[in-house]
Structure 1
Amino acid sequence: MLLYDGTCGFCDGAVKFVLRVDRVGTMRFAALESDFGAAVLARHPELAGVDSVVYVQNPDRGDERVFVRSEAALSVASYLGGPWRALGAVAGVVPAPVLDWLYDRFAAIRYRVFGRVDSCAVPAPEVRARFIA
């Protein structure tokens, strides 16, 4: 499960990218602002105030785990497999604090560069079932 900023133009593009290259087709999505996103954030108080992509492993189960920032991005790359897993493995040799610093720098300018959208885009009918409200 991938939680994303539903008003971020870059995040919207990233979700579309994952949908396009996801060979397995099991990744599900929810906006951080959705009821599902709010429930995940409520279950994980350490995420209070998070302004990042959140990768949720085993959602709604007793062994649910959450990953944020660069760790979330690397988890998605690993899930996607192929060249994305390899790229994630290469990036994974960089220390996490450095990756998170880079992630935070990009996150700080994402709205200026990629803009905001008024609301989450309505997914195409063929992938709508992969989105949780």
Structure 2
Amino acid sequence: MPDVSKQPFSYRHDPAVPDFDDRKALFVFDGICVLCSGGASWIMRNDGRGLVNFTPAQEALGQALYAHYGIDMDESYLLIADGSAYTASRGYLELCRILGRWWHALRMSAVIPEPLRDWLYALVARNRYRWFGKADYCALLTKEQRERLL
């Protein structure tokens, strides 16, 4: 996975990145991938406290953040939290920390070495369209969920 260790909040100084409310975490996902959109929908349904915002990678904000961090959308989703970017397995562990409650139990997967977690993540990411398919843009999101997109 690419190193996304820029200074926290560095995107605020990048004129190519549109302004957004970064007081909450931002989950940037592939809006045409069935697995990715379904995952974003599932997170929305289970984020009862509204701790996370969402944007598709195909929108201007998503594209600008991918460019800012030098990440190819096909490599990983992006999680922006507390001004820092996370990808792959580390991003999911951070997401579990943010969501708290029973999500913390999923952080036990950190006992698996990160290179192995990321290898498995990359395997699924490379094959996600073939294994899970594509859908119309954000088709798996309900009307209410689409309203949560930045």
Do the two structures share a fold, i.e. TM-score over 0.5?
yes
Percent identity reads: 31
Runs of 4+ in 1 over 4 A off after TM superposition: none
Q: Which residue of 2 aligns with 1:31?
A: 56
Taking the aligned partners of 1:4 and 1:114, their CA distance within structure 2 comes to 15
Q: Which residue of 1 aligns with 2:100?
A: 81
Deviation string 1:33-66 (CA, Å, 9 cap, x unpaired) is 1101012123223x246521110114xxxxx211
Name the TM-score, length of structure 2 as normaliser: 0.74
Structure 1, unmatched stretches of 5+, are: 59-63
Residue identity matched to 1:78: R
Residue identity matched to 1:30: T
Name the TM-score, length of structure 1 as normaliser: 0.82
Q: Which residue of 2 aligns with 1:61?
A: none
Say yes or no: does 1:69 pair with 2:93.
no
Taking the aligned partners of 2:73 and 2:142, their CA distance within structure 1 comes to 30
Q: Which residue of 1 aligns with 2:120?
A: 102
SS in 1 for 2:80: strand
| Residues 41 and 140 in structure 2, CA contact (< 8 A), matched pair in contact too | no
Q: Judging changes above 3 Å, is the alpha-carbon distance between structure 1 residues 48 and 114 closer, same or farther for their aligned structure 2 residues?
A: closer
Q: Judging changes above 3 Å, is the alpha-carbon distance between structure 1 residues 49 and 22 closer, same or farther for their aligned structure 2 residues?
A: closer
Aligned length: 125
- Measured on the aligned residues, the alpha-carbon RMSD in Å equals 1.9
| Residues 9 and 117 in structure 1, CA contact (< 8 A), matched pair in contact too | yes
SS in 2 for 1:117: coil
